[in-house]
Structure 1
Amino acid sequence: MTTVAVTGASGKAGRAVVADLLAHGYDVRASDVTGTPGDEGDLGTSLIHADLTDYGQAIEVLAGAHSVVHLANIPAPGRATPPATINTNNAINTNVFLAASRLGLRKVVWASSETTLGLPFAEPPRYAPIDEAHYPLPTTTYALSKVVAEETARHISVLSGIPFVGLRLSNIFQPEDYRHVPDFWDDARLRAWNLWGYVDARDVAQAFRRALEVPTSGSQSLIIAAADTIMDRPSADLMAEVFPDVPLTRELVGRETLLAIGAARDLIGYEPEHSWTDEVTGG
């Protein structure tokens, strides 16, 4: 049985990842800075309490694992002061990456962010759909911490020979969140900040598992989003209304995502399986 360390296991993405890995036969070593140590609760496995700003604790939670899914971070702008956000995330990411290198793990798959691509779009994107080349454009210290982590991952991958995959996650929705989706439809500008993107937590989980299982090399970074937008209108209409001067790189079909997921499809076989339309009546 393959053992995977999952950091940040108590969070929205973490819980989905742990459940998915357990369902697919993995042994999971879950850790988080929050939660009750040793209390399985609804996580399905025991939880180690660890502060990964401490390198020694990073070594402890990764020891004995074959690979790591690294999710532990201050998860968004505005949760802490800008300096605390970048300093904390940089310390956590560097410690986990170096611990993985020191222990000789087989793979590191970790949570980057769509914000590295220029979000929130107070200024229009350069083109749409945006893809991996629409990078780096950090607009907050949170986004900057992810850009720094991507560069750190690239260099540690070269030094260690360990493959790294950073997943640039869109705004994560759980099934119970979809009841709010119709609230967005009357004003296209409400969700224009990330080009109306989102991703189901269950698809986040399968993306991490696929990234663990598919052979990769070096350090790769991939956009992970749903196949559609959060809106009930065609994507071309949304762009024409809110970003009329942004060039489109191709003809848009229906409500397709404006956060391009082609690279994730090609590299790890990612294919979104969930949509708000499965949960919202009339979607």
Structure 2
Amino acid sequence: MADVVVTGSGGDLGRWVVGSLVRAGWRVRCLDHEHPAEDTPPGVTAVETDLTDAGETLEAVLAVDPEAVVHLAAVGPQYYAPSRVYENNTLAAYHVLTAAGEAGADVVWTSSESVYGWVFAEEQVFPDALPVSVDHACRPEDQYGVSKAAAEATAESVARRYDVPVTTIRPSWIQHPGAYECTDADGEDVVDNFWSYVDVRDVVRLVRAALESPPDGEETVHAAAAENYVGRPTRELFEEAFGSVPTPCDLAGTESALSTANAGAAYGWEPEYSYHEAATDDVGPWDEW
């Protein structure tokens, strides 16, 4: 049984990742800003950790000599002052990923589609091409997107400096079975991520795939569902929202604006879940899934 450190373990994604790793036989060390109120299950230890503190983070990671580190911790722009969002996310990523490098651990972590600059933009940004690949230019202007772009630079440097495999996942709007927020959104008004989404279980599957088949160096991949959440042709949605579509545009029907082709090539991963069924799925609590 191998050790894995998971940051942000108490979050909406972290709890699903921890549950999946425990069932797969990993010993999980959870690092979060608060100690969980409930008892941890067998195979899980939890340490309250300030990830913006370099020494504290290094101690917490090296204490178990982990085989892998999964970094999910971050704060969003909806809840905190801009400087706090940038400082927290940038420092936490630097400290956690550097500690993983010092441990010689495989790294999987979550960036965001916000690095492209359109999710929290003051004015809607038009993509250069469709579908959007991970090679698309990153032009963030908000504190969250900039913090994730800075963290991606850290991830690349850690892969080079320590010669450890690093997988950077850029998830779309993460949805939870039985509680899909995107299906309640107005597709005509909510265009800041071009009607893309991803089921939390597909993100967990991608985390697991990256841990099971680490890349050579750093690999960046999208996590997105196969189609948009509106149920109408994506090209049509762009034409209505913007008056045109990017050129080139190679989309068929309701295909997602985010390409996951590289996740398929690197890890054999394809999205399994769709809002057609998952929006009303009843799969039980995260720790039973």
Helix, strand or coil at the partner of 1:119: coil
Identity, in percent, stands at 35
Counterpart for residue 261 of structure 2: 262
Q: Name the CA distance, whole Å, in 1 between partners of 2:68 and 2:183.
A: 39
Q: Report the AA paired with residue 110 of structure 1.
A: W
Q: How does 1:5-84 map to 2 (within 5 A)?
A: 5-36=5-36, 39-40=39-40, 45-63=44-62, 64=64, 65-74=66-75, 76-84=76-84
Counterpart for residue 104 of structure 1: 104
Q: How does 1:213-224 map to 2 (within 5 A)?
A: 213-224=212-223
Counterpart for residue 151 of structure 1: 153
- Write out per-residue CA displacement over residues 193-219 of structure 1, whole angstroms, 9 at most, x where no aligned residue: 101011111111111111111131222
| 1:73–1:280 Cα change, 3 Å | closer
Instruction: Find the partner of 1:134 among 133, 136, 148.
Output: 136
Counterpart for residue 271 of structure 1: 270
Aligned: 1:234 with 2:236: no
Q: Name the CA distance, whole Å, in 2 between partners of 1:12 and 1:114.
A: 17
Q: CA deviation at 1:161?
A: 0.5
Q: Report the AA paired with residue 263 of structure 1.
A: N
Q: 2:129 touches 2:249 (CA, 8 Å); kept in 1?
A: no
Q: CA deviation at 1:24?
A: 1.8
Q: Report the AA paired with residue 100 of structure 2.
A: A
Q: Name the CA distance, whole Å, in 2 between partners of 1:91 and 1:61.
A: 15
Q: CA deviation at 1:248?
A: 4.5
Helix, strand or coil at the partner of 2:44: coil
Question: How high is the TM-score relative to the length of structure 2?
Answer: 0.88
Q: 1:127 touches 1:249 (CA, 8 Å); kept in 2?
A: yes
RMSD: 2.0
Q: Structure 2: state its 5+ residue gaps.
A: 281-289
Counterpart for residue 167 of structure 2: 165
Q: CA deviation at 1:255?
A: 1.4
Q: 2:166 touches 2:214 (CA, 8 Å); kept in 1?
A: no
Q: 2:179 touches 2:279 (CA, 8 Å); kept in 1?
A: no
Helix, strand or coil at the partner of 1:223: strand
Aligned: 1:174 with 2:176: yes
Counterpart for residue 125 of structure 2: 123
Q: 1:37 touches 1:47 (CA, 8 Å); kept in 2?
A: no
- Write out per-residue CA displacement over residues 116-144 of structure 1, whole angstroms, 9 at most, x where no aligned residue: 01222612222221111223111211110
Q: Name the CA distance, whole Å, in 2 between partners of 1:173 and 1:247.
A: 27
| 1:200–1:182 Cα change, 3 Å | closer
| 1:240–1:150 Cα change, 3 Å | same
Question: How high is the TM-score relative to the length of structure 1?
Answer: 0.90
Q: Structure 1: state its 5+ residue gaps.
A: none
* Greater per-residue helix proportion: 1
- Write out per-residue CA displacement over residues 30-83 of structure 1, whole angstroms, 9 at most, x where no aligned residue: 121124377327x98342211111122212332221110001111x22321111
Q: CA deviation at 1:272?
A: 1.0
Q: Name the CA distance, whole Å, in 2 between partners of 1:271 and 1:93.
A: 27
60-69 or 167-176, which moves further after superposition? 60-69
Q: 1:163 touches 1:218 (CA, 8 Å); kept in 2?
A: yes
